[in-house]
Chain A
Amino acid sequence: DTGVSQNPRHKITKRGQNVTFRCDPISEHNRLYWYRQTLGQGPEFLTYFQNEAQLEKSRLLSDRFSAERPKGSFSTLEIQRTEQGDSAMYLCASSVGNPVYGYTFGSGTRLTVV
């Protein structure tokens, strides 16, 4: 197991285009989290899954954002009609149950909207 994998590492898109990111968690981790991190800020919670169920969504997750975790394995985060304000690092993390021992993070996907 090589940890949490995120693809792509970098994505440049034009405003108004749709983008999709993928996260592959550690295989035995049943919880998967998405965060957004803008320059100079800490990670901000977006949403999380327990197995295939999406249990919580932040108000930061506008209706242009959608996340899925089919079959409780990998997850995708899609942003429709991207805006310049969506430019950020999108981080994925996973844990076994409640993260009382913290998360294992992926390396993130850097999105730049031009």
Chain B
Amino acid sequence: AQTVTQSQPEMSVQEAETVTLSCTYDTSESDYYLFWYKQPPSRQMILVIRQEAYKQQNATENRFSVNFQKAAKSFSLKISDSQLGDAAMYFCAYFGGADGLTFGKGTHLIIQP
């Protein structure tokens, strides 16, 4: 079974700084999809960014970018110019073509003003 590991239960960053959240996963598949979701205190999960494993180019969405290392099975999220509204739980997720997404345990991101 696929597993997703987020080794940082909590991260703290100063407003306007850059922070990187780590994620590793285990799979025997060669074609799959990776996601980062944000869950603000209101609890609705919001998709932040996605990556297709067969694409070497790292995905970017405005201030959010990923560092996808397929061989290392690593998928980190970089948030540039952190804003107070970025404070939330962040979940890394994997989809390999069967059933549904598998999520990590999450990283609680704190933004210090």
**Chain A residues proximal to chain B, CB less than 8 Å:** 33, 35, 40-45, 48, 55-56, 89, 91, 93, 98-108
Number of chain B residues close to chain A: CB under 8 A: 25
| Interchain nearest-CB distance for A109 vs B (Å) | 10
Q: CB distance B105 to A99 under 8 Å?
A: no
Residues of B contacting A56 in the complex (Cβ-Cβ under 8 angstroms):
99-100
Distance between Cα atoms of A3 and B91 in the complex (Å): 20
Residue of B nearest to A43 (CB): B103
Q: CB distance A99 to B95 under 8 Å?
A: yes
Residues of A contacting B105 in the complex (Cβ-Cβ under 8 angstroms):
40-42
**Chain B residues proximal to chain A, CB less than 8 Å:** 4, 6, 33, 35, 37, 42-47, 50, 52, 91, 93, 95, 97, 99-106
Distance between Cα atoms of A102 and B12 in the complex (Å): 27
Most buried by B among A48, A103, A104: A103
Q: CB distance A100 to B33 under 8 Å?
A: yes
Residues of B contacting A104 in the complex (Cβ-Cβ under 8 angstroms):
47
Q: CB distance B100 to A108 under 8 Å?
A: no
Distance between Cα atoms of A42 and B100 in the complex (Å): 14
Most buried by A among B35, B100, B102, B106: B100
* Contact of B99 (CB < 8 Å), options: A41, A48, A100, A103: A48
Residues of A contacting B46 in the complex (Cβ-Cβ under 8 angstroms):
105
* Contact of A98 (CB < 8 Å), options: B45, B97, B102: B97
| Interchain nearest-CB distance for B14 vs A (Å) | 25
| Interchain nearest-CB distance for B88 vs A (Å) | 13
Q: CB distance B101 to A102 under 8 Å?
A: yes
Q: List 15 A-B contacts (CB under 8 A).
A: A35-B100, A42-B103, A55-B99, A89-B43, A91-B45, A93-B45, A98-B95, A99-B101, A100-B33, A101-B50, A103-B47, A103-B100, A105-B37, A107-B43, A107-B44
Q: CB distance A103 to B101 under 8 Å?
A: yes
